[in-house]
Amino acid sequence: MSTSIRSIKSLVPLLDRVLVQRIKAEAKTASGIFLPESTVKDLNEAKVLAVGPGGLDREGKRVPMGVQAGDRVLIPTFGGSPVKVGEDEYQLFRDSDILAKINE
Amino acid sequence: MSTSIRSIKSLVPLLDRVLVQRIKAEAKTASGIFLPESTVKDLNEAKVLAVGPGGLDREGKRVPMGVQAGDRVLIPTFGGSPVKVGEDEYQLFRDSDILAKINE
Amino acid sequence: MSTSIRSIKSLVPLLDRVLVQRIKAEAKTASGIFLPESTVKDLNEAKVLAVGPGGLDREGKRVPMGVQAGDRVLIPTFGGSPVKVGEDEYQLFRDSDILAKINE
Amino acid sequence: MSTSIRSIKSLVPLLDRVLVQRIKAEAKTASGIFLPESTVKDLNEAKVLAVGPGGLDREGKRVPMGVQAGDRVLIPTFGGSPVKVGEDEYQLFRDSDILAKINE
Amino acid sequence: MSTSIRSIKSLVPLLDRVLVQRIKAEAKTASGIFLPESTVKDLNEAKVLAVGPGGLDREGKRVPMGVQAGDRVLIPTFGGSPVKVGEDEYQLFRDSDILAKINE
Amino acid sequence: MSTSIRSIKSLVPLLDRVLVQRIKAEAKTASGIFLPESTVKDLNEAKVLAVGPGGLDREGKRVPMGVQAGDRVLIPTFGGSPVKVGEDEYQLFRDSDILAKINE
Amino acid sequence: MSTSIRSIKSLVPLLDRVLVQRIKAEAKTASGIFLPESTVKDLNEAKVLAVGPGGLDREGKRVPMGVQAGDRVLIPTFGGSPVKVGEDEYQLFRDSDILAKINE
């Protein structure tokens, strides 16, 4: 999903959407040896950059979001909409797709 | 989806539909060199041209739209109904399909 | 969908159904040259001939129709039930399938 | 769907079901020439013979039927349950499957 | 669906289920000639033997059953759960699957 | 579904789940002759060992269970979750999957 | 589902999610003989490590969870989201997917 967006900060999620950036695995071992790119596995962790105002319930009220900007979260392996800003990749999920917060 | 419509301004979306026009990627590089057509990628950005009055909830009330005419938005890669007016292509989405606004 | 109906005016749509007739593309170019039949594309435009009284919501009230007889509308490429009266073809859609009105 | 029913009048549709008999196309041309059986197309028209009392909404009230016995209606090409009484064929549809009334 | 049930009268349907026994076609012609087993077609008629107390609606109230024990009914060609008691076959349907009553 | 559970009595079904043990067909004929294992058919009868407290309706109230521990019931041929405790096999069904009670 | 999480205690399930760790089968027989890894079957038992606050019903109220941290539970064979922390594997289920508690 290519865009001409200059800064990811311009992206304002709608409804119950959550904009996240996947956390990259360390490309070096605990002892400090750098690993070749291909051996670094994708992690299912992400940083929440922005959240929508919440979906609308049947009475037209906003459903409160479960996560907030700044949260570190566990995301599912599949699903989500990829967004590319320059060379960086981001993802948009629905709030209820986020599995867990990581308080670490 | 061919039409005999003379001006896209004649098209009035119904219910929760959003009429958008996809933003074309710049066909030249930052340094001003023009790129051949085939290397210009489609962007997932669009300009909102018109919106419907909102869908009806179960009590018959209009659900307010999340986007308005003039908004710059992030659209999904798949889905939407194409509309062709003359040589120009447009798309109709449902309001809840629009992923995010772009405030830039 | 063949019928023995003599006049399309006899057809009274039920619930939220909309009876439309697709608008044929001009079979001649702007400069007046007639085109062979096979090069004339089907348009996604239609004229609304009749509408049902509206579907029933869960309290048994009629949901008001979004289009009226006489409206010029944008119809989806797929879906709808074809009806043939004599040599003429018509289509029945549900009100919520109609994409947009064309005010031209 | 074979039955041992002697008269179709014994069949009492339940809930929102509509018992119809498809109208046969005239097996002769306008000028009176009889057509061989195989060239007579099935029509999507039917006569309503009997209707159920209406389905139940979520409060347990009957949803009024859109068609009544005696109505001439447009039926969809697919769907419906065939019923055979002697050599005659009938069909049971749900009320909301009936496309339109034919007032002719 | 084999069972060790001795009498079908022991079977008490739950919720909106209807226990029926299919009516066998007469294995002889009108003129009294007995037909070989293989030419006797299954009928879509059945006798209702027992009905459940009705399903529960969303407020926890019982939805009244449309058929009662003793009714002769038209059943669909597919669906239903077969039950075998000794050599006899029965079927369990949901109340809303029963197409019509036969008052003959 | 293997477990390390020592006694099936330790298993407490959640929500609207029903723990049953399928009734084995008699491995001998009425006249007392024992049948080889392979000719004994599985029955669709089961004994209810334990039931959950009931599912939650939309107001958060428990939906009462249709069957109770001790009931003899008719179970569907497919579905249910198998549970193995030692060499014994059990099954967990949802309350609404149980077809009928057997009062014999 | 790889993560860089250091301790599973940092993982806080959202909504109605349940974090569990599958119980490993004893790798030795009752008489104390150790079994080779490949003959040890996966069990469908798990220990609940943490639970979310509960899903939201349509009025925005939390639906109470059926299981709590510390519970020993029966989990389904399929479904759930795997989470890997270091060398340890965990799973996230929805509360309504948990089949039964094991009180032993």
Residue F94, pLDDT above cutoff 80: yes
Joined together, the tokens standing for residue F77 give: 């041929």
- Lowest-confidence segment of A29-38, D9-18, D67-76, G61-70 by average pLDDT: A29-38
Residue B33, pLDDT above cutoff 80: no
Is E29 a domain residue? yes
The residue with tokens 């001795």 is: E6
What percent of chain F is modeled with pLDDT above 70?
A: 86
Instruction: Name every chain B residue with its beta carbon within 8 A of the beta carbon of C45.
Output: 3-5
Interface predicted TM-score (ipTM)? 0.83
Locate the chain A residue with the closest alpha carbon to B45.
Answer: A3
Residue E17, pLDDT above cutoff 70: yes
Joined together, the tokens standing for residue C39 give: 């090069």
**D101–C14 CB contact, under 8 Å:** yes
Confirm if E44 and D1 have CB atoms less than 8 A apart.
Answer: yes
Q: Give the Cα separation of G91 and G21 in Å (integer).
A: 6
- E40: distance to nearest CA of chain F, Å? 28
Instruction: Name every chain E residue with its beta carbon within 8 A of the beta carbon of D10.
Output: 102-104
Amino acid A2 reads: S
Locate the chain B residue with the closest alpha carbon to A13.
Answer: B100
Q: How many independent structural domains does chain F possess?
A: 1
Locate the chain D residue with the closest alpha carbon to C13.
Answer: D100
Is C1 a domain residue? no
Confirm if B95 and B19 have CB atoms less than 8 A apart.
Answer: no
Average the pLDDT over A40-50 and give the result.
86
Higher pLDDT, G69 or C33: G69
- DSSP notation for chain D: -B---S-GGGEEE-TTEEEEEEPPPPSB-TTSPBPPGGG-PPPSEEEEEEE-S--B-TTSPBPPPS--TT-EEE--SS--EEEEETTEEEEEEEGGG--EEE--
Is C12 a domain residue? yes
Q: Which domain holds residue D49?
A: 8-101
Is B54 a domain residue? yes
What percent of chain A is modeled with pLDDT above 70?
A: 86
Is C32 a domain residue? no
Q: What pLDDT was estimated at residue F49?
A: 98
* Residue range E27-55, pLDDT digits in tens: 666 677 766 655 556 789 999 999 999 99
Could you tell me the pLDDT band of residue C3, with boundaries at 50, 70 and 90?
confident
Mark out chain A residues that contact chain G at CB-CB < 8 A.
23, 25-26, 41-45, 57-58, 61, 63-64, 66-67, 74, 76-77, 96, 98-104
Q: Any idea what the CATH number is for the domain that residue G40 is in?
A: 2.30.33.40
Residue E77, pLDDT above cutoff 80: yes
Could you tell me the pLDDT band of residue B37, with boundaries at 50, 70 and 90?
low
Q: Give the Cα separation of D35 and D53 in Å (integer).
A: 40
Q: What pLDDT was estimated at residue D57?
A: 85
Instruction: Name every chain D residue with its beta carbon within 8 A of the beta carbon of E54.
Output: none
Is F2 a domain residue? no
What spatial distance separates the first Cα and last Cα of chain A, rounded to whole Å? 31
Residue B34, pLDDT above cutoff 70: no
**C42–B2 CB contact, under 8 Å:** yes
CB contact set of A67 (below 8 Å; sequence gap of 6+): A18, A48, A51, A73, A95, A98, A101, G14
Confirm if F99 and F73 have CB atoms less than 8 A apart.
Answer: yes
* Residue range D31-48, pLDDT digits in tens: 767 666 555 567 899 999
Is D2 a domain residue? no
Amino acid C80 reads: G
Q: DSSP assignment, residue B28?
A: B
Is G92 a domain residue? yes
Could you tell me the pLDDT band of residue G78, with boundaries at 50, 70 and 90?
confident
* Residue range F19-49, pLDDT digits in tens: 999 998 766 666 767 666 555 567 899 999 9
* Residue range C38-50, pLDDT digits in tens: 555 678 999 999 9
Instruction: Name every chain C residue with its beta carbon within 8 A of the beta carbon of B81.
Output: 76-77, 99
- In this structure, how many other beta carbons lie within 10 angstroms of the beta carbon of residue E95? 21
Amino acid F41 reads: K
What percent of chain C is modeled with pLDDT above 90?
A: 65
User: What b/e string do you get for E49-85 counting C-beta neighbours within 10 Å, with b at 16 or more?
Assistant: bbbbbbbbeeeeeebebbbeeebbbbbeeeebbebeb
Cβ-in-10-Å burial (0-12, 13-18, 19+) of C3 comes to: buried
